[in-house]
């Protein structure tokens, strides 16, 4: 360990290449230590900025991120074999320090410092809150007005209906104000000594008409609102789904499928729920509040001020109480989920439970969880009833004030009996809905956050040039010209690969896991494009080709074939929906699938189940081969197509594959090296580079990397007794 002469640990004219803050001190307490890396040294400073460690790069042999429990440490190994712990950190910083260690290692080896220290954002820059998804949207800081406006743009196709809905809302508010007014008029007429039945009946008739009108508007507006909200949600859902289909695969690498799927389902549901239930509630009751306040003010402003005074109190309590209560109900739902989880688990594992005679233990666990649910339920419901009681008291407070103050005014003749009654009726119309305003705010927040997450997908750049570019029939010659690629650009997985696959040639890709085999076929499929170098198809850079047309000429048979829920025939003609039944059967015969399909009760109409669950592994494999045969691709990708099936099925699949590859340029990956005997050429990959190339025999004679791989596999197979390669 060396101490630094300069304050910064830098040499003259030198700058830092990277700087990271570790969040643990040398004695394991929470605190900040700054680790800075320059071309010449690794320097660590404490919170006061004093250098506590300075290790020259020239002295280093290795740098690594040593994993610990709940954290890690940056260990620098010197050429004299000392291990220096440069910094300790929690898991929050471990990933970044892993990258930094890689960068220091590069410097120690005399390579260029090339790391990616940009971490995915997990907290909001503005408010510091945790984001629900990494690099996602902060539900607290979204511009709700802007999001609402953008959501409104989806209303464009339904503009007239939206306006009509607004008219209905205004109409129903106006009509709802009339009955108390009519009732007040009747009472005032009675008080004035009027005992004629005719005018009374006229007023009651008017009242009945208003009620019919109000009910009609409510029915129409409810129906229209449901139609509009559902259409809007459906448009959002399909637009989002369409956008997801064309997202670059990088996006799927970063986000879990569940999180992406929830954008289409949960987020659109939240928006839908708000549009159908929340928004109308807010608009109608908001308008009602204003209108009622105006009516009461028009009758008597002093009384209005007094009886509306508790409104802010009700609103305040509603906001304050809603959160803890919703937390309690959230807890109840969590406890319910625990009960469900235990129930599912114990029922699915009932054989194991019985075999070990552990019924009593499972019962005890279930009872505990059930009691936890009971307690959470009691607490939530009791709190809810207590809070609701308090709220009801506040609500009735307005009425009590009205009876006290308004009653006095009535006695003193400052208010007519009709006016007194009208105010009483109006109060009932506003205080009730006020209790729910706070929950509407919550729906609104959730809906806007959901909408924002949807817009995030819509705004993500789609795959390059899906349409556009050269549409041409390819012959199938594939050339890699010094291709370099990394899923994370600082960490290349393919590192300068060059080869040419001639039209109709079968290329076997061989290597340890992580050697770059799957990445090579991902690049051929153009799921990703090279960071450097070119991939040429028939001598043309494939980025100039129309992506859709290019993909139409590629066929893929995966290790775990994916079948869609539908019939066997639907799955075989997935790539060619217009294929005839004869063509489907022809492909199935070539794939050795025809016979087993016929043995099924519904033949080609047999439903394969979700992800093909009702088919065996070998059946799924042959259906997927038939699908590829019918698709008639020029370039074919086989990824370990014969693993995990019995010998007879494997023979049938091999036969099918031989028919499939005839006349097509084929890239095949197989861990069982014997299955690649028929390949025209094998490329042995190691750490992203082609290290050997030749036929199976040539490579065996050469006794190089491939030979070693075969020997290792033979030894392993002998041990586990599945025969030698």
Partner 1 sequence: MHLFYAPEGRLRLTMDNRSYVEVVLAWASPLTYPGKYLSFLDGKGKEIFMVTDPVVELAPEVWSVAQGELQRRYLNGVVHKVLSTKTEFGSTYWHVITDRGEKEFITQSLQENAQWLSPDYLLIIDVDGNRFEIPNISGLDEKSKQILSVTV
Q: Decide whether 85 or 290 has the Cβ nearer to partner 1.
A: 85
Count, residues in the chain:
725
Q: How does DSSP assign 386-430, residue by residue? A: HHHHHHHHHHHHHHHHIIIIIHHHHHTTSS-HHHHHHHHHHHHHH
Residue with tokens 């010197």: 78
Residues 85-124 that bind partner 1 (CB under 8 A): 85, 88, 90-92, 122
Residues 52-71 that bind partner 1 (CB under 8 A): 68-71
Q: Decide whether 24 or 232 has the Cβ nearer to partner 1.
A: 24
CA dist., res. 482 & res. 534, Å (int): 7
SS3 labels along 597-645: HHCCCCHHHCECCHHHCCCCHHHHHHHHHHHHHHHCCCEEEEECCCCCC
Asked if 160 is part of the footprint of partner 1 (rule: CB under 8 A), the reply reads no
Question: At closest approach, how far in Å is the CB of 561 from partner 1?
Answer: 33
Binding segment for partner 1 among 84-92, 290-298, 312-320, 456-464 (CB under 8 A)? 84-92
Residues 448-507 that bind partner 1 (CB under 8 A): 449
CA dist., res. 695 & res. 9, Å (int): 55
Residues 124-153 that bind partner 1 (CB under 8 A): 129-130, 132, 139-140
Residues 287-306 that bind partner 1 (CB under 8 A): none
Residues 392-451 that bind partner 1 (CB under 8 A): 445, 449
Taking CB under 8 A as the criterion, the residue among 83, 482, 646, 708 binding partner 1 is: 83
CA dist., res. 680 & res. 483, Å (int): 22
Q: Decide whether 81 or 156 has the Cβ nearer to partner 1.
A: 81
SS3 labels along 283-300: HHHHHHHHHHHHHHHHHC
Taking CB under 8 A as the criterion, the residue among 3, 80, 153, 601 binding partner 1 is: 80
Question: At closest approach, how far in Å is the CB of 334 from partner 1?
Answer: 4
Site string for partner 1, 308-337 (x = CB under 8 A): ----------------x--x------x--x
Asked if 75 is part of the footprint of partner 1 (rule: CB under 8 A), the reply reads yes
Residue with tokens 């990959």: 685
Asked if 28 is part of the footprint of partner 1 (rule: CB under 8 A), the reply reads yes
Asked if 705 contacts 691 with a C-beta cutoff of 8 angstroms, the reply is yes
Size of the site for partner 1 (CB under 8 A): 34
Q: E strand or H helix at 483, and its extent?
A: strand 478-485
Asked if 140 contacts 151 with a C-beta cutoff of 8 angstroms, the reply is no
Question: At closest approach, how far in Å is the CB of 441 from partner 1?
Answer: 13
Give residue 552's Cα distance to chain centre.
28
Site string for partner 1, 334-353 (x = CB under 8 A): x--xx---------------
Write out the two tokens for 201: 């009946």
Binding segment for partner 1 among 79-87, 149-157, 302-310, 610-618 (CB under 8 A)? 79-87
Question: At closest approach, how far in Å is the CB of 113 from partner 1?
Answer: 24
Question: At closest approach, how far in Å is the CB of 180 from partner 1?
Answer: 41
Asked if 332 contacts 377 with a C-beta cutoff of 8 angstroms, the reply is yes
Binding segment for partner 1 among 74-82, 152-160, 216-224, 409-417 (CB under 8 A)? 74-82
Helices 159-176 and 178-191: crossing angle in degrees, nearest 10, is 20
Question: At closest approach, how far in Å is the CB of 182 from partner 1?
Answer: 47
CA dist., res. 188 & res. 317, Å (int): 37
Q: Decide whether 327 or 616 has the Cβ nearer to partner 1.
A: 327
Site string for partner 1, 571-600 (x = CB under 8 A): ------------------------------
Question: At closest approach, how far in Å is the CB of 333 from partner 1?
Answer: 9
Question: Environment class of residue 217 by beta-carbon count within 10 Å: exposed (0-12), middle (13-18) or buried (19+)?
Answer: buried
Q: E strand or H helix at 718, and its extent?
A: helix 705-720
Q: Decide whether 34 or 335 has the Cβ nearer to partner 1.
A: 335
Taking CB under 8 A as the criterion, the residue among 3, 5, 12, 29 binding partner 1 is: 29
Question: At closest approach, how far in Å is the CB of 71 from partner 1?
Answer: 4
Q: Decide whether 18 or 75 has the Cβ nearer to partner 1.
A: 75
Binding segment for partner 1 among 22-30, 391-399, 464-472, 553-561 (CB under 8 A)? 22-30
Residues 168-207 that bind partner 1 (CB under 8 A): none
Q: Decide whether 114 or 143 has the Cβ nearer to partner 1.
A: 143
CA dist., res. 102 & res. 86, Å (int): 14
> Beta-carbon neighbour count of residue 15 at 10 Å?
10
Name residues whose C-beta falls within 8 Å of residue 86's C-beta, 6 or more positions apart in sequence: 35, 42, 44, 53, 55, 73, 74, 75, 76
Name residues whose C-beta falls within 8 Å of residue 539's C-beta, 6 or more positions apart in sequence: 477, 479
User: CA Rg, the chain, in Å?
Assistant: 36
Contacts of 75-80 spanning 24+ positions with Cβ under 8 A: 75/101, 76/42, 76/104
Question: At closest approach, how far in Å is the CB of 116 from partner 1?
Answer: 18
Taking CB under 8 A as the criterion, the residue among 3, 5, 13, 30 binding partner 1 is: 30
Q: Decide whether 338 or 484 has the Cβ nearer to partner 1.
A: 338
Q: Decide whether 79 or 223 has the Cβ nearer to partner 1.
A: 79
Q: Decide whether 31 or 609 has the Cβ nearer to partner 1.
A: 31
Q: E strand or H helix at 307, and its extent?
A: helix 301-308
Asked if 685 contacts 492 with a C-beta cutoff of 8 angstroms, the reply is no
Question: At closest approach, how far in Å is the CB of 76 from partner 1?
Answer: 9
Question: At closest approach, how far in Å is the CB of 676 from partner 1?
Answer: 33
Taking CB under 8 A as the criterion, the residue among 39, 82, 602, 646 binding partner 1 is: 82
Tell which residue, 661, 186, 656, has the closest CA to residue 421: 186
What are the residues binding partner 1 (CB under 8 A)? 24, 28-31, 68-71, 73, 75, 80-85, 88, 90-92, 122, 129-130, 132, 139-140, 324, 327, 334, 337-338, 445, 449
């Amino acid at each position: 360990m060396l101490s630094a002469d300069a304050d910064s640990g830098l040499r003259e004219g030198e700058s830092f290449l990277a700087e990271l803050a570790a969040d643990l001190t040398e004695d394991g307490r929470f605190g900040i230590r700054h680790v800075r890396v320059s071309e010449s040294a690794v320097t660590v400073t404490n919170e006061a900025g004093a250098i506590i460690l300075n290790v020259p790069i020239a002295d280093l042999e290795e740098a690594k991120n040593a994993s610990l429990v709940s954290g890690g440490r940056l260990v620098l190994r010197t050429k004299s074999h000392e291990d220096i712990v440069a910094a300790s950190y929690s898991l929050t910083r471990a990933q970044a320090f892993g990258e930094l260690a890689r960068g220091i290692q590069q410097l120690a080896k005399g390579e260029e410092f090339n790391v990616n220290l940009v971490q995915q954002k997990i907290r909001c820059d503005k408010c510091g809150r945790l984001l629900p998804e990494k690099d996602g949207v902060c539900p607290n800081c979204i511009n709700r007005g802007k999001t609402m406006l953008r959501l409104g743009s989806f209303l464009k196709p339904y503009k007239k209906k939206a306006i009509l809905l607004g008219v209905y809302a205004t109409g129903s508010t106006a009509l709802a104000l009339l009955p108390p007014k009519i009732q007040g008029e009747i009472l005032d007429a009675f008080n004035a000594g009027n005992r004629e039945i005719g005018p009374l009946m006229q007023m009651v008739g008017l009242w009945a008409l208003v009620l019919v009108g109000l009910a009609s508007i409510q029915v129409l507006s409810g129906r229209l609102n449901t139609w509009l909200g559902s259409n809007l949600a459906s448009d959002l859902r399909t637009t989002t789904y369409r956008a997801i289909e064309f997202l670059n695969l990088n996006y799927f690498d970063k986000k879990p499928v569940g999180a992406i799927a929830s954008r289409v389902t949960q987020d659109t549901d939240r928006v839908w729920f708000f549009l159908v239930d929340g928004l109308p509630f807010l608009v109608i009751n908001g308008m009602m509040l204003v209108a009622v306040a105006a009516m009461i003010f028009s009758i008597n402003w002093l009384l209005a001020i007094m009886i509306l005074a508790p409104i802010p109190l009700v609103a305040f309590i509603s906001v304050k109480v809603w959160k803890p209560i919703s937390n309690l109900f959230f807890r109840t739902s969590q406890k319910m989920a625990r009960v469900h989880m235990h129930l599912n688990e114990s029922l699915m594992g009932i054989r194991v439970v019985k075999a070990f005679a552990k019924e009593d233990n499972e019962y005890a666990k279930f009872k505990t969880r059930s009691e936890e649910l009971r307690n959470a339920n009691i607490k939530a419901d009791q709190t809810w009833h207590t809070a609701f009681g308090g709220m009801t008291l506040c609500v009735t407070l307005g009425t009590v004030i009205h009876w006290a103050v308004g009653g006095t005014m009535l006695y003193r003749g400052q208010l007519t009996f009709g006016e007194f009654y009208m105010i009483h009726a109006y109060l009932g119309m506003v205080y009730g809905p006020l209790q729910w305003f706070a929950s509407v705010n919550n729906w609104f927040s959730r809906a806007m956050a959901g909408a924002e997450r949807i817009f995030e997908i819509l705004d993500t750049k789609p795959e390059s040039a899906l349409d556009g570019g050269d549409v041409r029939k390819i012959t199938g010659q594939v050339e890699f010209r010094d291709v370099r690629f990394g899923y994370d650009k600082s960490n290349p997985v393919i590192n300068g690969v060059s080869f040419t696959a001639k039209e109709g040639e079968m290329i076997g890709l061989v290597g340890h896991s992580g050697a770059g085999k799957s990445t090579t076929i991902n690049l051929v499929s153009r799921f990703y494009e090279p960071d450097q170098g070119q991939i040429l198809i028939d001598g043309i850079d494939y980025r100039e080709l129309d992506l859709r047309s290019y993909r139409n000429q590629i066929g893929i048979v995966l290790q775990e074939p994916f079948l869609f829920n539908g019939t066997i025939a639907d799955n075989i003609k997935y790539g060619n929906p217009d294929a005839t039944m004869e063509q489907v059967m022809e492909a199935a015969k070539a794939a050795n699938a025809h016979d087993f399909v016929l043995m099924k009760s519904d033949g080609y109409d047999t439903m394969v189940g979700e992800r093909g669950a009702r088919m065996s592994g070998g059946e799924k494999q042959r259906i997927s081969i038939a699908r590829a045969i019918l698709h008639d691709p020029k370039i074919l990708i086989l990824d370990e197509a014969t693993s995990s099936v019995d010998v007879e099925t494997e023979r049938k699949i091999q036969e099918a594959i031989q028919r499939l590859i005839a006349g097509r340029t084929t890239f095949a990956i197989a861990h069982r090296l014997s299955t690649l005997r028929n390949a025209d050429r094998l490329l042995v990959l190691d750490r992203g580079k082609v290290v050997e190339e030749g036929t199976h025999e040539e490579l065996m004679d050469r006794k190089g990397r491939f030979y070693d791989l075969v020997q290792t596999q033979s030894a392993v197979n002998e041990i586990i007794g599945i025969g030698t390669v």
